[in-house]
Amino acid sequence: MKFNNIKLYAYAVLVSVMTFNCSNDDDNNGGEPMDTDFSGTYAQQDQMGRPAVNTVFVSSGMKDAFNTTVPSQQSASFQSMFETNLTALSPAYANPGDTNALGLDAPTFTGLLATDVLTVSLDGTTTFFDGTNVLTGRTLADDVISVELLLIFGGEDGTENPGLSNDNVDANDKAFLTSFPYLASPW
């Protein structure tokens, strides 16, 4: 009985020493990740590459499926739907040889869009479109909606459907910061 108590006491001391050592280790590591539970599997719900792609080109009923299809399989699964929806929005695309200001016809343009990733240059200017560079990134100030409207409705030289190819909202309602974190403080 007494012996058992001693054993128990020794065990308790051992446990407390080990616990102390563990928390000491955590402190030395800067701590937090070891103290916090990051276990388990996280399953995809939403994804996004370029702006407005799911909203504009994916038919209702397929939007969740688009969000849970890996980009490497999106073109095979969704390009023909994109082409149908693009042609419904902007019927001129149905004419043989019709292209947008980038010289892309409906199959090529929708093939590009259906793989919903943002291409970003590591070698210089990053912009959705700045008059010179095309799809080298996306900055906060890029007027991405007007670029997309122009490519959908503007035809070969950007002059078709002038009432539809620009929403005439060209900038944010708050100035961005030149330094990290770049986004304006909240309202």
Partner 1 sequence: MKKTKILIATAILGIATFVAIAADHIDAPAVSGGTSDITDFYAFQGENTSNIAFVANVQGLLAPGATGSASFDENVMIEFNIDNTGDNVEDLVIQALARDGKMYVFGPTAPSQTGLNSTVATNAANQLVADITPYGQSAMVASSTGMMAFAGPRDDPFFMDFAQYSEIIGGNATSFNNPGSDTFAGSNVLSVVVEVPKSMIGGTGTINTWVESKRKQ
**Binding to partner 1, residues 102-161 (CB under 8 A):** 115-127, 136-140, 143-145
CB of 96 to partner 1, least distance (A): 26
State yes or no: cis peptide before 181, omega within 30 of 0.
yes
Structure tokens at 158: 């950007």
Interface segment toward partner 1; rule CB under 8 A; list 8-16, 19-27, 103-111, 175-183? 175-183
The angle, 0 to 180 degrees and rounded to 10, between the axes of the packed helices 71-89 and 106-114 is 140
DSSP 91: G
Listed residue (149, 141, 116) closest to 48, CA to CA: 116
| C-beta of residue 12 within 8 angstroms of C-beta of residue 5 | no
Binding window for partner 1 (CB under 8 A); candidates: 1-9, 19-27, 65-73, 100-108: 65-73
Beta carbon nearer to partner 1, 24 or 46:
46
Q: Half-sphere exposure of 130 toward its Cβ, with a 13 Å CA cutoff?
A: 12
Contact pick of 8, 23, 46, 94 for partner 1 (by CB under 8 A): 46
CB of 109 or CB of 153, closer to partner 1: 153
Q: Does 40 bind partner 1 (CB under 8 A)?
A: yes
Distance CA 142, CA 126 (A): 10
Of the two residues 27 and 64, which places its CB atom closer to partner 1 in the complex? 64
Question: Tokens standing for 156?
Answer: 């070969």
Query: Binding-site residue total for partner 1 (CB under 8 A)?
Result: 74
Please give the DSSP secondary-structure letter assigned to residue 94: G
Please select the residue that binds partner 1; options are 71, 94, 95, 159, rule is CB under 8 A.
71
**Of residues 73-102, those binding partner 1 (CB under 8 A):** none
User: The tokens of 15 are what?
Assistant: 């446990």
The window from 3-11, 15-23, 53-61, 93-101 that contacts partner 1 (CB under 8 A) reads: 53-61
